[in-house]
């Protein structure tokens, strides 16, 4: 065993960059770690990739696979084909993946077949909807991973139910919230509010923020028409800022759908600009998993345009409400927020900005690069160590 722990981290899509940034920053603090970063190129345009590296201070990747777009099967297979020689050449001690995108499951399958230990951050999240491609990615990655780092207690129960060994599961908190807390002060310097006419200095107007990209919402003409119709009705009462995902833009054009003049469409936003808008919004419409978490951490009401969520703590503890796609339910929930009838949430356990530190120190302890850190206050315990109170 070498003295340094060589960790090969994999990113590929916009959510990965945000989640991996605090982990990479934390790894840099430990001389026992040799960090190697692979960018699969799953998201490859300026707004969805390169600008995130700059704003989040992510180091240039050691390898860029330049996979690009494609069907789920084609993209996953191509990532596997291109990452295998990188793994064989560099022979890391550990492969680290985050989230649930195609890059996550492709890297996990390849590492497992090469018998390289695998760690999955955000393990155990389940929507129990196998029509979601992300659900398939989550289940497969967790079945392969040697070390499972969970953000909430329900995720731990899911992993146990699926037969994962308790000693491989660690409750550590949420790296997405690490990034949010780290970069929120920088986001406050963004001029996006002024540019969109929503802010005048420190004074912000009321507005809603909309994100919409899941195939279940945008691929059906009827569904996207219902959702945009409800948003148009809400826009009669409050402006709506809508950063339009490229996929959604194509569907809106194909369906020949028009939006209310008070719906301000903008291209995909850089992380800091989006975080600025998110933190000052009156409420958010979304079908994104990560935004459900961020709004809970910020105390912003979140109306999720889905029938289910893989992040139930945002509903049971946080500010999230599942409103589905029914236009009347969407309109009623938005009107309730505008009248001040907001859900009072609180910050979930261990969403304190220290998750990346717990993960990295735990990996060092597991792999024998330092003494076990069972009692350290910033290190997650395995489920076996503490089943009653899942705390360090």
Cα(61)–Cα(9) distance, rounded to whole angstroms? 10
Query: Can you spell out the DSSP letters for 323-378?
Result: -TT-HHHHHHHHHHHHTT------PPTT-SS-HHHHHHHHHHHHTTSS---TT-TT
Q: Where in the chain is the domain with CATH 3.40.50.2000?
A: 5-173+351-366, 190-338
Q: Where are the beta strands (DSSP E) in 239-281?
A: 240-243, 263-266
Residue 25 has pLDDT above 70, yes or no: yes
Residue 377 has what pLDDT?
42
Residue 49 has what pLDDT?
63
Give 334's strand partners: none
Q: What is the pLDDT of residues 121-178, one digit of tens each?
A: 999 999 999 999 999 999 999 999 999 999 999 999 999 999 999 999 999 999 999 9
Report residue 47's pLDDT band, with 50, 70 and 90 as the boundaries: low
Residue 246 has what pLDDT?
86
**Structure-block tokens of residue 229:** 């119709």
Average pLDDT over residues 189-214: 96
Question: Which of 120, 213, 245, 280 is flagged as catalytic?
Answer: 213
Residue 386 has what pLDDT?
40
| Antiparallel, parallel or unpaired: β 94-98 and 63-64 | unpaired
Q: What is the pLDDT of residues 312-364, one digit of tens each?
A: 999 999 999 999 999 999 999 999 999 999 888 999 999 999 999 999 999 99
Residue 344 has what pLDDT?
87
Indicate the pTM of the whole model: 0.92
Distance of CA 60 to the CA centre of its chain: 21
Residue 378 has pLDDT above 90, yes or no: no
CATH value of 5-173+351-366 in 3.40.50.11780, 2.40.30.10, 3.50.50.60, 3.40.50.2000: 3.40.50.2000
Average pLDDT over residues 269-297: 96
Residue 28 has what pLDDT?
96
Q: Is 39 helix (H, G, I), strand (E, B) or coil?
A: strand
Average pLDDT over residues 42-49: 60
CATH value of 190-338 in 3.40.50.880, 3.30.70.141, 3.10.20.30, 3.40.50.2000: 3.40.50.2000
Confirm whether 213 is a catalytic residue: yes
Residue 50 has what pLDDT?
73
Give the 3-state secondary structure percentages of the chain, helix then strand then coil, rounded to 5: 45, 15, 40
Residue 148 has what pLDDT?
98
């Amino acid at each position: 065993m070498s003295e340094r722990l060589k960790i090969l981290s994999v990113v590929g899509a916009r959510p990965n960059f945000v989640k991996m940034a605090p982990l990479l920053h934390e790894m840099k603090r430990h001389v026992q770690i040799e960090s190697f970063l692979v960018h699969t190129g799953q998201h490859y345009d300026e707004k969805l990739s390169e600008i995130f590296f700059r704003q989040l201070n992510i180091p240039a990747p050691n390898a860029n696979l330049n996979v690009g777009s494609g069907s789920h099967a084609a993209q996953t297979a191509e990532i596997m084909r291109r990452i295998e020689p990188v793994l064989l050449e560099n022979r890391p001690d550990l492969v680290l993946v985050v989230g649930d995108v195609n890059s996550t499951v492709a890297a996990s399958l390849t590492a497992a077949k090469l018998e390289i230990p695998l760690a999955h951050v955000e393990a155990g999240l389940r929507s129990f909807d196998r029509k979601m491609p992300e659900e398939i990615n989550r289940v497969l990655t967790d079945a392969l991973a040697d070390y499972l780092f969970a953000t909430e207690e329900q995720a731990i129960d899911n992993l146990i139910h699926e037969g994962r060994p308790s000693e491989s599961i660690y409750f550590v908190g949420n790296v997405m919230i690490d990034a949010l807390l780290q970069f929120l002060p920088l986001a406050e310097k963004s001029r996006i509010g002024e540019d969109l006419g929503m802010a005048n200095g420190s004074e912000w107007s009321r507005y809603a923020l909309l994100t919409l990209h899941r195939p279940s919402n945008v691929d059906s003409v009827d569904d996207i028409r219902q959702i945009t119709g409800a948003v148009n009705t809400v826009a009669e009462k409050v402006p709506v800022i809508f950063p339009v995902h490229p996929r959604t833009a194509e569907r809106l054009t194909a369906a020949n759908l028009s939006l209310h003049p008070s719906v301000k469409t903008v291209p995909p936003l850089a992380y800091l600009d989006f975080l600025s808008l998110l933190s000052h919004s009156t409420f958010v419409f979304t079908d994104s998993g990560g935004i459900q978490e961020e709004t809970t951490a910020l105390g912003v009401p979140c109306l999720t345009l889905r029938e289910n969520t893989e992040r139930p703590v945002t509903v049971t503890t946080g500010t999230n409400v599942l409103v589905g796609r029914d236009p009347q339910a969407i309109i009623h929930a938005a009107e309730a927020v505008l009248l001040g009838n907001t859900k009072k949430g609180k910050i979930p356990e261990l969403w304190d900005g220290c998750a990346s530190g717990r993960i990295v120190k735990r990996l060092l302890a597991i792999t024998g690069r330092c003494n076990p850190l069972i009692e350290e206050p910033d290190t997650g315990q395995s489920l076996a160590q503490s089943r009653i109170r899942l705390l360090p």
